[in-house]
Amino acid sequence: AQKVTQAQTEISVVEKEDVTLDCVYETRDTTYYLFWYKQPPSGELVFLIRRNSFDEQNEISGRYSWNFQKSTSSFNFTITASQVVDSAVYFCALAPGSARQLTFGSGTQLTVLP
Amino acid sequence: DVKVTQSSRYLVKRTGEKVFLECVQDMDHENMFWYRQDPGLGLRLIYFSYDVKMKEKGDIPEGYSVSREKKERFSLILESASTNQTSMYLCASPGQGGTEAFFGQGTRLTVV
């Protein structure tokens, strides 16, 4: 069985602060995929990034960066110099190699205050 | 550019009614999922389908059934709606090889 844990239910930061959202996963599969999605107040789920289990290289995209560590089963997401528009619920998700399941964490509500 | 479409954005039904939520994808994907989203609980998988007429239970299938007669359409059925099924329902379709899942806009169902 798969499991994704996002221990941080809510985080508030002031604009321009850096913030890290934690994600810990459990799986018995050797091949799997990890994802981050953003859900702004409008409600639609926006795909941010995908990582496969064989690629532990960290990734940076503008103000966003992701740290994947298989040793600790973690896939953390950092927003640098946060902005008010970053306010949203962020979900971490896990899929097995077959992609016949997609398990989400409970989400982290990020509020960036001006 | 529409990829996953859910038939209704908002729906109000009475307790005991049979409710159909429809989802259509235009990407020729084999996999389709139904989730419900509740505050503090994230997205919980109800059912998924990996081929026409194939379905498997997710984490919370009780009170729901599904139908996949055509590849592009995946229907969620509430046999006898109850108030505890009031929720946001999301349909998703991932591509092969673990590519990203595309989501519909969601259906907010209220059972009164």
pLDDT tens by residue, A26-62: 999 999 999 999 999 888 899 999 998 988 888 888 9
Q: Which of B36, B44, B2 lies closest to B106, judged by CA?
A: B36
Report the alpha-carbon distance of residue A89 to residue B99 in Å, rounded.
21
Q: What is the pLDDT of residues A50-95, one digit of tens each?
A: 998 988 888 888 999 999 999 999 999 999 999 999 999 999 999 9
CA–CA min distance A72, chain B (Å): 22
In degrees rounded to 5, what are phi and psi of residue A7?
-70, -25
Residues of chain B contacting residue A102, judged by C-beta atoms under 8 Å apart: 33, 45, 48, 92, 94, 101
Residue B20 β-bridge partners: B77
Average pLDDT, chain A: 93
Across the interface, do A99 and B103 touch by the CB < 8 Å criterion? no
Each residue's pLDDT, cut to its tens digit, for chain B (112 residues) gives: 669 999 999 999 999 999 999 999 999 999 999 999 998 888 999 999 989 989 999 999 999 999 999 999 999 999 999 999 999 999 999 877 778 889 999 999 999 9
Report the alpha-carbon distance of residue A6 to residue A86 in Å, rounded.
18
The pLDDT of A106-111, averaged and rounded, is: 96
Q: What is the pLDDT of residues A1-20, one digit of tens each?
A: 789 999 999 999 999 999 99
A1 touches chain B (CB under 8 A): no
Strand, helix or coil at B45? Answer: strand
Best residue of B103, B105, B108, B109 to probe chain A, by most A CBs closer than 10 Å: B103
Q: How confident is the model at residue A100 (pLDDT cuts 50, 70, 90)?
A: confident
CA dist list (Å): B7 to A1, A52, B21: 32, 33, 7
Residues ≥6 apart with Cβ < 8 Å to B37: B43, B44, B87, B88, B89, B90, B106
> Do A68 and A58 touch, CB atoms closer than 8 A?
yes
> Do B108 and B88 touch, CB atoms closer than 8 A?
yes
CA–CA min distance A2, chain B (Å): 11
Across the interface, do A102 and B41 touch by the CB < 8 Å criterion? no
Instruction: Output the pLDDT for position B2.
Output: 65
Instruction: Output the pLDDT for position B40.
Output: 83
A14 touches chain B (CB under 8 A): no
B51 touches chain A (CB under 8 A): no
CA dist list (Å): B76 to A68, B36, B91, B106: 35, 11, 9, 13
